[in-house]
C-alpha cells in the first residue's frame, strides 16, 4: 500500500473509536498504538507508542458530545504527531462540531466555526477530511485543503435497495427552506420530486404555522436533513406532512445524529416510521429506540483515506 515512500498510520481519540476500528479493518491495517486519556483534573494527555517519523498519519476524531473534550483530544493528538515528526497529518473529522456557528446572526456574535478551523491548523494539521459540513463555506475558513464528503450516496444506496422500483409514490422533503439545495440534490439522485415544509411565526409568542409546499397527499415521504439535534424541527415537519399535507407515511434520514435533550423521546412519539442516521457520531443504545437505524460511513472514509494517501482524486466518492 506504499504510494509515495511513506507508510500510512491511523490514530484515534475517544470520540468514535468503533468507527476508527472499522476504517482500519476496511483498509487492512490496525489502529496506531496510543493512549488518550485525562488526568484527575480533566486535562487531556496523549502518549504515542510507535514511531510516526515521516509517516502519512490520519487522526479519526469526531468533535461530538462532549464537544470541548473531544476537540482538545484532536488538537493534542495532532500536536503530539507534529512534534514526533510525522510526514503529513490529516484530521479526519466525520462530524465537525461548532459548524452551526458559521456567521454573525446578530451583533457581537462570534464565528466559532472559524476559530475551530484556526485551532486545527495551528495545532499542525496539513489537511482535513470531513462529511456534510452544516455550512459548506466552512471549507473556506481553513488555510489548508478540506475534503467535504457527501453522505447522500449512502442514503441513495440504502433507499434504492429498501424500496427498489416501488418509488413512484415517494417524494423527498426538505424540513425547512434553508435545506432545500441539499434535499434537491438527494431527490435528483433518487429520481423523486421535492417538497418543502415552510414554518413561520405570524406574530411574536404565537405558535409556528407549518405550510407544505408541494403535493404530498397519499405519498410516502423521506425527510432529508444534515443533522438531528433535539429533533423538534424534524418531528414537527413530519407532523405537518401528515396533518396538513395528507402524506401516507414519513421516513427520515440525516447525516449526523446529535440526538441531544428530548430528541429520542420526540422521535419515538412522532409519526416518523424510521430515522436513518450515519454513524459519524457513536450510535445510541438500540434499546432506546426501535425507529433509529444506523448506516456505516466506514467504507467511504477508508476509501477516501486511501485515495488521499495515494494522491488520487476522491471526486468519485461524491457520485
Q: Which residues contact 208 (CB under 8 A, 6 or more apart)?
A: 199, 200, 201, 236
252 vs 182: CA distance, rounded Å: 14
Q: Which residues contact 71 (CB under 8 A, 6 or more apart)?
A: 63, 97, 116, 119
Other CB atoms within 10 A of residue 263 CB: 22
CB of 120 closer than 8 Å to CB of 243? no
115 vs 117: CA distance, rounded Å: 5
Which position among 6, 199, 291, 293 bears the catalytic label? 199
What's the half-sphere exposure (Cβ side, CA atoms, 13 Å) at 106?
0
CB of 175 closer than 8 Å to CB of 223? yes
Is position 199 annotated as part of the catalytic site? yes
Backbone angles phi, psi at 252, to 5 degrees: -145, 155
221 vs 248: CA distance, rounded Å: 8
Task: Please report where in the chains the cell 509517516 appears, as a residue.
Answer: 55
83 vs 144: CA distance, rounded Å: 19
Three-state secondary structure of 181-210? HHHHHHHHHHCCEEEEEEEEECCCCCCEEE
Radius of gyration of the chain (CA): 21
Residues tagged active-site: 199
Amino acid at each position: 500500500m506504499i504510494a509515495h515512500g511513506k507508510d500510512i498510520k491511523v490514530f484515534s481519540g475517544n470520540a468514535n473509536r468503533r468507527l476508527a476500528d472499522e476504517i482500519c479493518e476496511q483498509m487492512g491495517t490496525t489502529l496506531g498504538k496510543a493512549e488518550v486519556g485525562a488526568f484527575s483534573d480533566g486535562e487531556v494527555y496523549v502518549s504515542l507508542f510507535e514511531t510516526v517519523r515521516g509517516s502519512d498519519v490520519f487522526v479519526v476524531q469526531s468533535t461530538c458530545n462532549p464537544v470541548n473534550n473531544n476537540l482538545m483530544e484532536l488538537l493534542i493528538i495532532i500536536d503530539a504527531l507534529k512534534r514526533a515528526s510525522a510526514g503529513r497529518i490529516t484530521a479526519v473529522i466525520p462530524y465537525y462540531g461548532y459548524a452551526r456557528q458559521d456567521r454573525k446572526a446578530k451583533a457581537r456574535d462570534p464565528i466559532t466555526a472559524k476559530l475551530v478551523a484556526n485551532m486545527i491548523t495551528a495545532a499542525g494539521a496539513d489537511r482535513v477530511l470531513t462529511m456534510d459540513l452544516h455550512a459548506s463555506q466552512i471549507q473556506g475558513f481553513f488555510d489548508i485543503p478540506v475534503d467535504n464528503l457527501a453522505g447522500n450516496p449512502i442514503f441513495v444506496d440504502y433507499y434504492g435497495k429498501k424500496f427498489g422500483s416501488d418509488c413512484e409514490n415517494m417524494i423527498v422533503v426538505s424540513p425547512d427552506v434553508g435545506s432545500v439545495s441539499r434535499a434537491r440534490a438527494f431527490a435528483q439522485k433518487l429520481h423523486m420530486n421535492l417538497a418543502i415544509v415552510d414554518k413561520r411565526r405570524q406574530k411574536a409568542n404565537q405558535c409556528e404555522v407549518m405550510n407544505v409546499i408541494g403535493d404530498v397527499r397519499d405519498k410516502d415521504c423521506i425527510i432529508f436533513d444534515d443533522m438531528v439535534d433535539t429533533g423538534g424541527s424534524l418531528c414537527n415537519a413530519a407532523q405537518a406532512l401528515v396533518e396538513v399535507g395528507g402524506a401516507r407515511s414519513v421516513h427520515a434520514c440525516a447525516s449526523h445524529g446529535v440526538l441531544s435533550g428530548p430528541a429520542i423521546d420526540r422521535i419515538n412519539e412522532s409519526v416518523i416510521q424510521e430515522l436513518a442516521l450515519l454513524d459519524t457520531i457513536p450510535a445510541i443504545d438500540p434499546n432506546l429506540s426501535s425507529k433509529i437505524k444506523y448506516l456505516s460511513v466506514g467504507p467511504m472514509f477508508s476509501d477516501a483515506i486511501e485515495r488521499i494517501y495515494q494522491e488520487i482524486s476522491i471526486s468519485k466518492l461524491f457520485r
